[in-house]
Amino acid sequence: MKKLLLLLIFLTIHQITAQTNPKNELGVWYMYNGSHQISNRISIKSMAHFRFFEVGDDLQQFIGRFGATYKINNTLSATGGYAFLNTDDTYQIKGGTTNEHRIYQDFNVKHALKKLKIAHRFRAEQRFFNDIFDHFLRYQIGFSHPINHKWSAYFYSETFFDFNEEAYNQNWSGIGAKYQLSKTVKLQLGYQKINVNEVGDFHRIQVGFAINTNHFKKK
């Protein structure tokens, strides 16, 4: 935990000396994620992310997601939903933004090796923006391990494939910690590296909270 906090402090200090190239800036993602169980097998998913080029300055992207997950069994589940994105592709200039609509489908697999939780997510996204139709295929693997009854550590890697252009589009890799604030609220602090094909690497701090509720009462 101390090593993670030292890493985040170092990256924040690096932000001060960064130049105007967005690849040299330490950005930040402020994140909300929600899961609300409404039956034995169905839960509602919600998400809102505010993604900045810099810490608290120059909004790069807003993304909101809404969907529903169907639990097949204790290992498998499937999700379908809609996402809206508003993206500013420019940095430190007013160059306009792009609105994008996505329909997405997830297939989720989770299992465990003793205390180590492992999750796989296969995602297909149909993208509609600027009179263009495109699609992503995404695969994410994630690991989570408890530190104590309140804290847990996590790592994930997600690769994007875009078969309308280059097969490999980008990769997101992240590491961090989560804190169980209450039965329904969990806090998150982490670091993410984004590698975009033929563009380079971007570095982001992640600050977020998740709300998980259960509105289903077993009879």
Residue 64 included in any domain: yes
The total number of structural domains in the chain stands at: 1
Residue 196 included in any domain: yes
Residue 78 included in any domain: yes
Would you state the pLDDT for residue 15? 46
164-192 tens-digit pLDDT: 777 899 999 999 999 999 999 999 999 99
Would you state the pLDDT for residue 163? 76
Q: SS in 3 state form for the chain?
A: CHHHHHHHHHHHHHHHHCCCCHHHCEEEEEEEEEEEECCCCEEEEEEEEEEEEECCEEEEEEEEEEEEEEECCCCEEEEEEEEEEEECCCCCCCCCCEEEEEEEEEEEEEEEECCEEEEEEEEEEEEEECCEEEEEEEEEEEEEEECCCCEEEEEEEEEEECCCCCCEEEEEEEEEEEEECCCCEEEEEEEEEEEECCCEEEEEEEEEEEEEEECCCCC
20-31 tens-digit pLDDT: 566 668 999 999
Residue 26 included in any domain: no
Residue 48 included in any domain: yes
Q: What is the reported pTM?
A: 0.86
Residue 23 included in any domain: no
41-94 tens-digit pLDDT: 999 999 999 999 888 678 899 999 999 999 999 999 999 999 999 998 776 555
Residue 155 included in any domain: yes
- Phi, psi angles (nearest 5°) of residue 175: -145, 150
Output the six-digit token pair for 23.
């690849």
The CATH number that applies at residue 121 is 2.40.128.140
d(CA 163, CA 170): 12
For residue 17, pLDDT over 60 is answered with: no
- Percentage of the chain with pLDDT > 70? 85
Would you state the pLDDT for residue 92? 54
Residue 4 included in any domain: no
Would you state the pLDDT for residue 174? 98
Q: Specify which residues 28 forms β-bridges with.
A: 52, 205
CA nearest neighbour of 70 among 59, 81, 62, 58:
81
136-173 tens-digit pLDDT: 999 999 999 999 999 999 999 999 999 777 789 999 99
User: Domain residues for 189?
Assistant: 35-214
d(CA 107, CA 27): 30
Would you state the pLDDT for residue 95? 56
